[in-house]
């Protein structure tokens, strides 16, 4: 199963950056796996900023059984006629889609650069992104030594302390626990917001981190 919903390029930060290639475009896919086991899911939420519209598709060109099974329950997941009409009109205008995509990618690149430059300035490690709207940030340095043993054992109390401190500052980062991260101290940071808001959010995040470290030391 491949999720193509987060493949929009943000910034080619790494020299070895690999451009996105859809599995559906591979000419001899049967050389790599059984074609019947390949399914691609795609949603419009990220590429078109349509969170909440819940519109997407499942592409399974080599497995009729999967398509038939999904079709049997599709009646329970129909989108509204308003959403259908709007998205149909959008998809019928390739020039608009092209212009929107280029603008969106340029703005994502700007926000991404601002985010990683700020994180570097704060000496906060992160996992570079090659697509999508998120960064995986490592805030373990703000877990004081007195909590290190419990954190190593997988206890997440300190992770929640830092999370609540950020909430008190008006900033929401997703807990690593929500993504089954085993190590304590990792969070998912969303950078797809306007630059001014992003700067303010990063400043508040840093303030919350320092406050948590001081409080628990």
pLDDT band, residue 174 (cuts 50/70/90):
very high
Neighbours of 25 (CB within 10 A): 8
Q: How many residues does the chain have?
A: 217
Task: Check if the beta carbon of residue 59 is closer than 8 Å to that of residue 39.
Answer: yes
**Percentage of the chain modeled with pLDDT above 70:** 85
79: left (phi over 0), alpha (psi -120 to 50) or beta: beta
User: What is this structure's pTM?
Assistant: 0.81
Chain segment 128-172, per-residue pLDDT in tens: 987 788 999 999 998 765 555 555 555 778 788 899 999 999 999
* Euclidean distance between CA atoms 180 and 146, whole angstroms: 24
In terms of DSSP bridges, do strands 186-190 and 2-3 run parallel, antiparallel, or are they unpaired? Answer: unpaired
Chain segment 15-53, per-residue pLDDT in tens: 455 677 788 888 888 898 899 999 999 888 888 888 888
* Euclidean distance between CA atoms 109 and 13, whole angstroms: 10
- CATH node for 106-216: 3.90.1150.10
Both tokens of 161, joined, read 């302390």
Task: Check if the beta carbon of residue 82 is closer than 8 Å to that of residue 90.
Answer: no
Domain boundaries, the chain: 2-92, 106-216
Kindly report each contact of residues 26-33 with a partner whose C-beta sits within 8 Å and lies 24 or more positions away, as own/partner: none
Residues facing 58 on adjacent strands? 41
Segment 55-78 mean pLDDT: 92
Number of H helices, E strands in the chain: 6, 7
């Amino acid at each position: 199963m491949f999720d193509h919903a987060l493949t929009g390029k943000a910034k080619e930060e790494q020299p070895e950056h690999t451009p996105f290639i859809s599995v559906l475009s591979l000419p001899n896919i049967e050389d790599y796996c059984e074609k019947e086991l390949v399914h691609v899911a795609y949603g419009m939420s990220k590429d078109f900023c349509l969170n909440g519209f819940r519109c997407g598709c499942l592409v399974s060109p080599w497995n009729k059984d999967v398509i038939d099974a999904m079709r049997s329950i599709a009646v329970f997941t129909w989108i509204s006629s308003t959403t259908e009409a709007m998205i149909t009109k959008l998809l019928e205008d390739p020039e608009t889609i092209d212009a929107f995509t280029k603008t969106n990618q340029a703005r994502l690149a700007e926000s991404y650069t601002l985010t990683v430059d700020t994180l570097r300035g704060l000496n906060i490690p992160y996992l570079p992104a090659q697509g999508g709207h998120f960064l995986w940030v490592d805030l373990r340095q703000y877990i004081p030594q007195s909590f290190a043993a419990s954190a190593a054992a997988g206890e997440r109390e300190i992770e929640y302390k830092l999370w609540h401190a950020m909430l008190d500052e008006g900033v929401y980062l997703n807990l690593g626990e929500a993504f089954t991260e085993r190590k304590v101290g990792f969070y998912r940071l969303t950078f797809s917001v306007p630059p001014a808001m992003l700067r303010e959010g990063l400043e508040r995040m840093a303030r919350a981190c320092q406050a948590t470290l001081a409080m628990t030391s």
